[in-house]
Amino acid sequence: MVQYQAVDRTLAALADPTRRGVLERLGRQGSASVSELAEPAGMSLTGMKKHLRVLEEAGLVSTEKVGRTRRCSLGPKRLEDVQAWMDSYRLMLEERFDRLEELLGRTEGDSP
Amino acid sequence: MVQYQAVDRTLAALADPTRRGVLERLGRQGSASVSELAEPAGMSLTGMKKHLRVLEEAGLVSTEKVGRTRRCSLGPKRLEDVQAWMDSYRLMLEERFDRLEELLGRTEGDSP
């Protein structure tokens, strides 16, 4: 259940182009201040702070107060839980298609 | 932009354990009625219908009226867009780590 909630939070955090953009930017350049993230996104500081809070709660971003500014960088979370669910879902679908193919092959083999 | 919105919808649709459970169930058994999906999830028909609408709008589930019941099955969407974003994000992180390692190696090589 706890695991489920964590995946939920990660997926919900990713379900927004601004937030995915922040992750991509931090991934490329390492760290940025809130205003450095807000400006290219055409967003107010308050708006960006809300997005950062969602990302921080999901563990995808870490923030640290340095002097008078807040530096943001990628958090400890690396999307492993989302990838794990995607992998198990795809595997399940593949197994099902394999079984269907096998069944189809058997049925075709049965006909004269 | 259109592509972005589609990924948003897919991710938001996946950000719920009931909805992921529906996908897993339909993946395993092919198709199910709304009540067959609602019962094991301990959910009302109305509640399940809301979840199904979100999944249907994201293209993850298709529903079809058969007589007096509605049959649900997996939709045309196969999470390719989410996987594509995850892959490009991971690649970007890997490239960054490679650059950092290279930089570190060069700096260490410079020292006597």
The 10s digit of each residue's pLDDT in A1-20 is: 445 578 999 999 999 999 99
Partner residue facing A17 (CB), from B8, B93, B96:
B8
pLDDT of amino acid B33: 96
B49 pLDDT above the threshold of 50 = yes
B97 pLDDT above the threshold of 60 = yes
Q: Name residues 17-56 of chain A within 8 A of B (Cβ).
A: 17, 20, 23-24, 27-28, 30
The pLDDT tens digits of the residues spanning A50-79 come to 999 999 999 999 999 999 889 999 998 888
Contact indicator for B76, B93 with CB cutoff of 8 Å: no
Tokens of A72: 């943001």
CB within 8 Å of A79: residues ≥ 6 apart: A10, A14, A60, B86, B89, B90
Neighbours of A82 (CB within 10 A): 22
- Separation of first and last alpha carbons in chain B: 52
B61 pLDDT above the threshold of 60 = yes
Task: Report d(CA A81, CA B17) in Å as an integer.
Answer: 13
Question: In this complex, do B23 and A79 lie within 8 Å of one another by their Cβ atoms?
Answer: no
Residue B32 has phi, psi (to 5 degrees) of -160, 155
Local confidence band at B101 (pLDDT 50, 70, 90 cut-offs): confident
Contacts of A74 in chain B (CB under 8 A): 93
Predicted-assembly ipTM surpassing the 0.95 threshold: no
Contacts of B90 in chain A (CB under 8 A): 79
pLDDT of amino acid B16: 96
pLDDT of amino acid B1: 43
Q: Is B79 left (phi over 0), alpha (psi -120 to 50) or beta?
A: left
Question: In this complex, do A12 and B17 lie within 8 Å of one another by their Cβ atoms?
Answer: no
Partner residue facing A11 (CB), from B14, B28, B96:
B14
Task: Report d(CA B77, CA A59) in Å as an integer.
Answer: 28
Contact indicator for A64, A31 with CB cutoff of 8 Å: no
pLDDT of amino acid A1: 43
Nearest in space to B20 (alpha carbons), one of A75, A18, A10: A10
Q: What is the pTM of this model?
A: 0.84
B2 pLDDT above the threshold of 50 = no
Nearest in space to B18 (alpha carbons), one of B50, B51, B49: B51
Tokens of A106: 């058997």
Local confidence band at B112 (pLDDT 50, 70, 90 cut-offs): low
Task: Report d(CA B62, CA B53) in Å as an integer.
Answer: 9
A109 pLDDT above the threshold of 90 = no
Local confidence band at A110 (pLDDT 50, 70, 90 cut-offs): low
pLDDT of amino acid B111: 56
The 10 Å CB-count burial string (b at 16+, else e) for A18-53 is bbbbbbebbbeeeebbbeebbeebebeeeebbebbe
DSSP state letters, A33-67: EHHHHHTTTT--HHHHHHHHHHHHHTTSEEEEEET
pLDDT of amino acid A111: 56
- B45-57 mean pLDDT: 96
- B20-35 mean pLDDT: 94
